[in-house]
Structure 1
Amino acid sequence: MVQVDVFWSYGIGASFATAAAYRLGSDAGAPGRRAFRWSDPYLMVTVLYCAVLFAPSGAWLLWDFPDWETMQVAHGHGSLPAWLVALFAATNVSQGVLGYRVAARLIEAGRVYAAYLQAGVGYFGMFFILVHGWDGRGYQRFFSADRETFAHWPESPGPGEALSRVGDWLVSPVALTLYGMGAVLVPVMLAVMASWLRSGRSESGTGAAPGRLRIVGGVLGAVFGVALGSAVASSVLVHLLGWWLGVPAAAALVAVLVVRRGTGAAHRTFGLLALPDRAGGRPRSVPAAG
């Protein structure tokens, strides 16, 4: 969706940079020497992914489902000014570059975990908009194929009715299009990240590289377990406490249970990927299964 892609593309860029942490970390001590060169091959792959795959998928959805893609704000193509469409396409690439550069800068400064969290910030922002939105009805907008469907959602649906509407959406044209796009976008991203992580770890001489399945599990767990779970929990707190109390409560929850080193959920998935604790430093050991 238009509103979430700004955060999503930022998370994609930061994810690619983090996957290249071993290579980018070789420039630790000389911040900016590599990460801000357009000749950086990892940056180029990030740009190509965002420009050739991610941005076109957003444009496709915006053209075919303008009301859904704008979270039911637009009535149709006539409601979309040309400058908004152009800006949307541009940010799908520019935010990916920004996410990569911010994460790469942190890696070169020796702050690999902080770079990893940049991806989490992007995905958390994406999921919070999808789950909560600006009025607590974000999930209803997401699971509505068009404005008419969204208009028939009760403001506080019961579990049975909500599940029924989600089931209807899962076989809608929007969902079917997303399945096809996901079958291309997700495997390509995971393959690139796994390749960079494994080769970087092997070339660093710090131990055996984690298996591809472990990397895929770690990435998917970080996105759909940690980031999505944090967004859902934050939405619940905002619903219960309101914005003024819910946001600080959510921030405290994320700080203690998610971000905290050693025990936080994000730090545990960071360990699964066998990333270095700091650029040029020793990587985290890969924890035993289970």
Structure 2
Amino acid sequence: MVQVDVFWSYGIGASFATAAAYRLRSRDSAARSAGRWSDPCLMGAVLYCAVLFAPSGAWLLWGFPDWETMQVARDHGSLPAWLVALFAATNVSQGALGYWVASRLIASGRVYAAFLQAGVGYVGMFFILVHGWDGRGYQRFFSADREAFAAWPENPSVGEALSRAGDWLASPVALTLYGMGAVLVPAMLALMVSWLRSGEREPGGGTAPGRLRILGAVLGAVFGVALGTAIAASVLVHLLGWWLGVPAAVAVTALLVVRRGTGAAHRVFGLLALPDRQFGGRPRNALAAGG
């Protein structure tokens, strides 16, 4: 979706940079002096965003303009040409920005902070999908068009919401997403697994984690930690309103998700066995770090 992809592409870029942490740290001085554009992982991230991610967004915007804009646009005539061009550009530029920010943090030894940049992108994406700007984000997502969105009751029950979500799963939008996901997700995971297992490890730093462990950690970070954080934030905003809900969500996220040693995000970070200078320059499992 147009509103979602700005955050999503940033998270993708930061994810790629974090996956390449060992490769980035082990590049020799000659490669670094050649400039940031000599980084092959940056090229891989940009190519992924430009060749796969951006075209998928353009496809959805053309095929389902109301759904792709979260039911804001009615048809192609409602979309100004500059918005379409800007949308395509940000799907690449935000990915490059996410990679650059995360890679700068990695260069300064703040690998966990780089990992959290990916989290910021994914939590932002999921919060828009779950809550949106009016608390109806999930209704907009599970509506194939404006007519389906308009048919939602004002306060749907859980059963009604599940029924409408089930209907959406067989819609042309969902079928298109399945096909795209069959290409985009394996390509992304293949790159991330390859990069997480490569690069020069420090003496005593241990071996690279296994592929299944990496896949489990990555999927858990996205659909467990990031999605769970977005849902919790949406619930707090619903209960307390924006002025109290947002600070409450930030506090809960800081204590239960981000906090070193005990936070859910830091535990996933430990499973990936990434380097972290704040632990003496050696990768250390967050599950054993104890803060």
Structure 1 length as normaliser, TM-score? 0.94
- The number of aligned residues is 286
SS at match of 2:156: coil
The letter for the 1-side match of 2:12 is I
Answer yes or no: is the 8 Å Cα contact 2:261–2:287 preserved in 1: no
SS at match of 1:200: coil
Answer yes or no: is the 8 Å Cα contact 1:9–1:96 preserved in 2: yes
Distance (whole Å) between structure 2 residues aligned to residue 283 and residue 116 of structure 1: 14
- State yes or no: 1:25 paired with 2:25: yes
Answer yes or no: is the 8 Å Cα contact 1:132–1:139 preserved in 2: yes
Answer yes or no: is the 8 Å Cα contact 2:261–2:286 preserved in 1: no
- State yes or no: 1:76 paired with 2:38: no
Tell me whether 277-286 or 92-101 shows the greater mean CA deviation.
Answer: 277-286
Distance (whole Å) between structure 1 residues aligned to residue 34 and residue 164 of structure 2: 46
The letter for the 1-side match of 2:272 is L
Distance (whole Å) between structure 1 residues aligned to residue 207 and residue 240 of structure 2: 47
Shift of 1:9: 0.2
Answer yes or no: is the 8 Å Cα contact 2:23–2:198 preserved in 1: no
Deviations 1:134-184 (A, max 9, x none): 000000000000000000001210011111100000000000000110111
Residues 204 and 107 of structure 1, relative CA distance in 2, 3 Å threshold: farther
- The percent of aligned pairs where both chains have the same amino acid is 83
Shift of 1:204: 6.9
Residues 281 and 69 of structure 1, relative CA distance in 2, 3 Å threshold: same
| 1:135 alignment counterpart | 134
Over aligned residues, Cα RMSD in angstroms?
2.1
Distance (whole Å) between structure 2 residues aligned to residue 259 and residue 276 of structure 1: 17
Answer yes or no: is the 8 Å Cα contact 1:36–1:101 preserved in 2: no
| 1:57 alignment counterpart | 56
Residues 275 and 230 of structure 1, relative CA distance in 2, 3 Å threshold: same
What are the ranges of 5 or more consecutive residues in structure 1 without an aligned counterpart? Answer: none
Within a 5 Å distance, the mapping from 1:198-213 to structure 2 comes to 198-200=197-199, 206-213=205-212
- State yes or no: 1:254 paired with 2:235: no
Deviations 1:85-122 (A, max 9, x none): 00000000000000000000000011000000000000
Shift of 1:65: 0.2
The letter for the 1-side match of 2:62 is W
| 2:173 alignment counterpart | 174
Distance (whole Å) between structure 2 residues aligned to residue 257 and residue 203 of structure 1: 30
Shift of 1:287: 5.7
- State yes or no: 1:101 paired with 2:100: yes
Distance (whole Å) between structure 1 residues aligned to residue 81 and residue 184 of structure 2: 26
| 2:109 alignment counterpart | 110
The letter for the 1-side match of 2:126 is F
Distance (whole Å) between structure 2 residues aligned to residue 34 and residue 180 of structure 1: 41
Shift of 1:277: 1.5
Structure 2 length as normaliser, TM-score? 0.94
Distance (whole Å) between structure 2 residues aligned to residue 204 and residue 229 of structure 1: 36
Answer yes or no: is the 8 Å Cα contact 2:7–2:124 preserved in 1: yes
Tell me whether 195-204 or 106-115 shows the greater mean CA deviation.
Answer: 195-204
- State yes or no: 1:10 paired with 2:10: yes
Deviations 1:238-282 (A, max 9, x none): 000000000000000000000000000000000111111239921
Distance (whole Å) between structure 2 residues aligned to residue 173 and residue 109 of structure 1: 46
Within a 5 Å distance, the mapping from 1:30-45 to structure 2 comes to 33=32, 37-45=36-44
SS at match of 2:205: coil
Residues 80 and 206 of structure 1, relative CA distance in 2, 3 Å threshold: same
Distance (whole Å) between structure 2 residues aligned to residue 89 and residue 83 of structure 1: 10
